[in-house]
C-alpha cells in the first residue's frame, strides 16, 4: 500500500509538472515580445519591411540574414544598446545608428534570451509559421503534452506508462526536414501505432496553429 501511494504521488507530481508550471519555449516567448516591440520596424519575417520602415531614414536591418553571423553576446549588446561601438571590438560607428532603439530598460535577461531565440528562428527557419502559435500552445498543452512532453522532446507522462517514443519536436533537423503539409497530415491522419489521428477532433486551423507552435519548440 505504501509503495503504491508513493508511486501515485510520483505520478501526480509528474502530472503537475506537465501542467501548471509549464514554461513556454524560448522562441515562443521571444515571438510574443518581437510582435509587440520589433515587428513595427523589422517586419513579420524580420526582413526590415515593417509598417514603420518606410518612415525611417535608416532602413531597419534584415534580421533574417544579418544575425546569422552574430553571437548571442553581440546580439545582447545590440538589443540592449550597450556597446554600440564595441560590436566587433573595433570602431564601427555606422553598424548601429540611433535608429535602432535601446531596450535595456525594457527587458530582463531571460526576455533578451527569448528574443534572440526567436531571431535565430527567423534566420534559420525553412518553413513559415502557418497558423497562430498562441492557439497552438493551448492545444498542445491540452492534447499533445501527455506524450510529447512539456518541452516537446518526447518524454511525456504517457511514454512511461505505455513505452512509446514520440517524435522529438525540439530537434530542428527532424522538424525542419518535414514541410508544413507533412506535419499537418501526420497530425490529422496519425502515424504508427501510438500517434493518434486528430481529424474530427481538431479543425484545419487548430492543426495549422499546432504546426506553428511545434516549429517554435526547436529554437
| Residues of the shown chain interacting with ligand HEC in the complex, contacts defined by CB under 6 A | 37-38, 40-42, 52, 56, 58, 60-61, 63, 66-67, 70, 75, 78-79, 96-97, 99-101, 103, 115, 143-144, 146-148, 158, 164-167, 178, 182-183, 186-187, 191-192, 194-196, 198, 210
123, 67 Cβ separation under 8 angstroms: yes
By Cβ distance, which residue is nearest to ligand HEC?
Answer: 192
In degrees and rounded to multiples of 5, residue 191 shows phi and psi of -155, 140
CB of 139 to ligand HEC, least distance (A): 6
Residue 218, C-beta contacts closer than 8 angstroms, at least 6 positions apart? 27, 152, 169, 170, 171, 172, 174, 175, 176
CB of 74 to ligand HEC, least distance (A): 8
From the list 200, 178, 197, 175, the residue with the least C-alpha distance to 187 is 197
Distance separating alpha carbons of residues 1 and 102, to the nearest angstrom: 60
What does DSSP assign to residue 144?
I
Q: At what angle do helices 204-216 and 109-124 cross, to 10 degrees?
A: 110
CB of 20 to ligand HEC, least distance (A): 19
Q: Which residues pair with 191 in a beta bridge?
A: 195
CB of 189 to ligand HEC, least distance (A): 10
By beta-carbon proximity to ligand HEC, the closer residue of 9 and 14 is: 14
CB of 4 to ligand HEC, least distance (A): 24
198, 207 Cβ separation under 8 angstroms: yes
By beta-carbon proximity to ligand HEC, the closer residue of 120 and 148 is: 148
By beta-carbon proximity to ligand HEC, the closer residue of 8 and 201 is: 201
By beta-carbon proximity to ligand HEC, the closer residue of 44 and 158 is: 158
From the list 175, 155, 177, the residue with the least C-alpha distance to 166 is 155
CB of 16 to ligand HEC, least distance (A): 18
By beta-carbon proximity to ligand HEC, the closer residue of 2 and 28 is: 28
By beta-carbon proximity to ligand HEC, the closer residue of 150 and 183 is: 183
| Run of H or E residues at 12 | helix 2-18
Amino acid at each position: 500500500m505504501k509503495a503504491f501511494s508513493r508511486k501515485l504521488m510520483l505520478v501526480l507530481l509528474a502530472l503537475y509538472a506537465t501542467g501548471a508550471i509549464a514554461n513556454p519555449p524560448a522562441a515562443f516567448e521571444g515571438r510574443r515580445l518581437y510582435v509587440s516591440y520589433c515587428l513595427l520596424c523589422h517586419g513579420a519575417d524580420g526582413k526590415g519591411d515593417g509598417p514603420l520602415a518606410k518612415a525611417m531614414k535608416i532602413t531597419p536591418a534584415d534580421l533574417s540574414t544579418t544575425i546569422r553571423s552574430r553571437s548571442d553576446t553581440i546580439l545582447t549588446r545590440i538589443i540592449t544598446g550597450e556597446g554600440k561601438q564595441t560590436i566587433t571590438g573595433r570602431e564601427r560607428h555606422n553598424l548601429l545608428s540611433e535608429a535602432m532603439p535601446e531596450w535595456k530598460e525594457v527587458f530582463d535577461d531571460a526576455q533578451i534570451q527569448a528574443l534572440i531565440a526567436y531571431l535565430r528562428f527567423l534566420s534559420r527557419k525553412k518553413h513559415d509559421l502557418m497558423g497562430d502559435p498562441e492557439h497552438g500552445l493551448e492545444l498542445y498543452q491540452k492534447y499533445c503534452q501527455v506524450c510529447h512532453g512539456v518541452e516537446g522532446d518526447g518524454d511525456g507522462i504517457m511514454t512511461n506508462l505505455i513505452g512509446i517514443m514520440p517524435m522529438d519536436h525540439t530537434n530542428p533537423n527532424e522538424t525542419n526536414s518535414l514541410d508544413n503539409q507533412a506535419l499537418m497530415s501526420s497530425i490529422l491522419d496519425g502515424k504508427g501505432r501510438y500517434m493518434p489521428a486528430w481529424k474530427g477532433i481538431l479543425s484545419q486551423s487548430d492543426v495549422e496553429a499546432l504546426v506553428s507552435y511545434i516549429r517554435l519548440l526547436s529554437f
